[in-house]
Amino acid sequence: MSNANAVSRVFILGMDGAGNFIQHTATPVIDAFLAKGAVTYDAQAQSPTISAECWGSVLHGVVPEKHGLTNEVAASEPYPAESRYPSVFRLARKAWPEAKLASFTSWSPINDGIVEDGIGIHKESLPDADLVQAIQNYLEQNPDVKLLFMQLDEPDAAGHKHGYGPDSQEYLNAITQNDVLFGQVLGTLEQLGLLEDSLVILLTDHGGGGDDKFSHGSDHPMDKNVFWGCVGPGIEPGTTIGEISIVDTAAVAAAALGLDIPDAWDAVVPAGLLQTRSMPENA
Q: Domain-by-domain residue ranges, the chain?
A: 3-278
Average pLDDT over residues 167-196: 98
Rounded distance, CA 201 to CA 50, Å?
A: 20
Q: pLDDT class for 275, splitting at 50, 70, 90? A: low
What are the start-end ranges of the H helices in the chain? Answer: 28-34, 51-60, 64-67, 71-76, 88-95, 109, 128-141, 154-162, 169-191, 221-224, 249-256
Q: Which of 260, 242, 240, 241 is nearest to 250 (CA)?
A: 260
Of 3.30.565.10, 3.50.50.60, 3.90.110.10, 3.40.720.10, the CATH number of 3-278 is: 3.40.720.10
Beta-carbon contacts of 72 under 8 Å, excluding residues fewer than 6 positions away, are: none
What are the start-end ranges of the H helices in 96-151? Answer: 109, 128-141
Q: Which of 231, 276, 192 is nearest to 29 (CA)?
A: 231
pLDDT given at position 3: 37
Whole-number Cα distances in Å, 139 to 148, 182, 190: 10, 14, 11
Please say if the pLDDT value at position 33 is more than 80: yes
Q: What is the mean pLDDT of the chain?
A: 95
Please say if the pLDDT value at position 153 is more than 70: yes
Q: What is the dihedral of CA 234, 240, 246, 251, to 10 degrees?
A: -30
pLDDT given at position 279: 45
Beta-carbon contacts of 113 under 8 Å, excluding residues fewer than 6 positions away, are: 52, 69, 73, 74, 75, 76, 77, 78, 79
Please say if the pLDDT value at position 254 is more than 50: yes
Whole-number Cα distances in Å, 93 to 52, 131, 196, 201: 22, 23, 23, 20
Beta-carbon contacts of 187 under 8 Å, excluding residues fewer than 6 positions away, are: none
